[in-house]
Amino acid sequence: MIEISRSDIASDFHMDLPAEDRFIKLPIEGYLDLLGVSPNTSQTAIINAINNPKYRFVCAAVSRRQGKTYISNIIGQLVCLVPNSHVLLMSPNYSLSQISFDLQRNLIKHFDLEVTRDNAKDKVIELSNQSTIRMGSINQVDSVVGRSYDLIIFDEAALTDGRDAFNVALRPTLDKDNSKAIFISTPRGRNNYFAEFYYRGYSDEFPEWLSIKATWHENPRVSEDDIKEAKKTMSEAEFNQEYLADFNVFEGQIWRFNHEQCIGNFSEIEVGRMDVFAGLDVGYKDPTAFCVIAYDWDTETYHVLDEYYNSERTTEQHAAEIQKLIQKWDIDYIYIDSAAQQTRYDFAQNYDISTINAKKSVLDGIGHVAGIVDNDKLHVDQKCKEVLMALDQYQWDPNPNLMKEKPKHDMASHMADALRYALYTFETSVTSF
């Protein structure tokens, strides 16, 4: 099935717009015919969306095997057939960037286009009409800034955190009239920048955004037998992610937080009859994460009230922000990573902040938090975006060579550690009295 957030975009035919209005100036149907491509409904919807002058940002959550990388490369080349056009194809890493680079070379060869520059190292192709197609990686975004682009395509956007790459580095490069961006990927959970951008397409606050969601049903090359085989060999989470473009779960996800029932507004909550405590994961190059939690003894429910999350700050700066939260919520206990003894000493000696070494059994702590989450006993204030992201994105390390399971170290793991320190240490110490 296909879902399109704006009602004026069709998926079953190419919408005919005047050449002066549409984004892709050349006749796309003729180009696709020459390639022998008959686009499926998701590809058609993406083309219609990017062509429509109302929408600058198109976010497509598409299941596997729908030709999302191929159609994005076709769109990129069509744009570059207009002189002095510049397209950037962003991928999560070098390997995926190479796929787009090879696709562009093949398309150029197919149409016998004249190339004046083909730099494999920098992954830049320049055509004789002065247009350029540049490939880039989210990990090295600085290498592709410094020019204006007509179109930026984020391929497999959910595989990495591209929020800052787009908002800070790349959005300013879309400074031409009607310049656009496409974000296309199979989803990887709800609390990441790809999901955030996807839901913008459904909001009246973002009228220039449009979203598309397409499941395996939109791919005519996938048979019922293929689906039966996939269900036999994949977990439910993996199948829902890969074939149903489901934002709610993904393979390797550690905790399954109930977004519908367990998010609220606790700004006015009465904590006088509750225990208020916090978890602290200290970062040096990585962010320092701090979460404030209140335990309601009557309902046996935990409420995440507040958070602090920042990197590249001094101990003094971290202490000042944490002190504000201590005073605001009257925090009883702060459970800190036992490896951060220098910070613990500095906090006590210099800033009068007392901390307790957290219990650090990783797998036991993860299991303990899972029990709380699975029973809907963890409620989170809507403003705690980093906690919500951690609950959603914390995942097992997929490395097959590991001797035992361990969580992946990434941007979700810092607040997840703080949350684990707090919940696991509190319930296994204070509640045992």
Q: Which residues are catalytic?
A: 156
- Provide the CA 295 distance to its chain's centre, in angstroms: 30
Instruction: Note whether 40 and 219 are within 8 A (CB).
Output: yes
| DSSP secondary structure letter of residue 364 | H
- Provide the CA 40 distance to its chain's centre, in angstroms: 26
Which amino acid would we find at residue 185?
Answer: S
Question: What are the structure tokens assigned to 389, written together?
Answer: 């992201």
| DSSP secondary structure letter of residue 172 | G
**d(Cα 263, Cα 266) in Å, to the nearest integer?**
9
**d(Cα 173, Cα 264) in Å, to the nearest integer?**
37
Among 427, 301, 276, smallest CA distance to 373 is for: 301
The dihedral formed by the CA atoms of 102, 105, 106 and 110, expressed in degrees to the nearest 10: 170
Between the alpha carbon of residue 127 and those of residues 30, 38, 76, 147, the distances in Å are 21, 26, 13, 17
**d(Cα 202, Cα 247) in Å, to the nearest integer?**
15
The distance between the two most distant Cα atoms of the chain, rounded to a whole number of Å, is 78
Q: Per 3-state DSSP, what percentage of the chain is helix, strand, and coil (rounded to 5)?
A: 40, 20, 40
Listed in order, strand segments (DSSP E) in 160-274 are 180-185, 209-214, 263-264
Among 430, 224, 218, 212, smallest CA distance to 334 is for: 430
CA end-to-end distance (rounded Å), the chain: 54
Element (H or E) spanning 228, and its range? helix 224-233
Question: What are the structure tokens assigned to 239, written together?
Answer: 């199948």
Listed in order, strand segments (DSSP E) in 229-385 are 263-264, 275-281, 288-296, 301-310, 333-336, 356-357, 378-381
Instruction: Note whether 150 and 176 are within 8 A (CB).
Output: yes
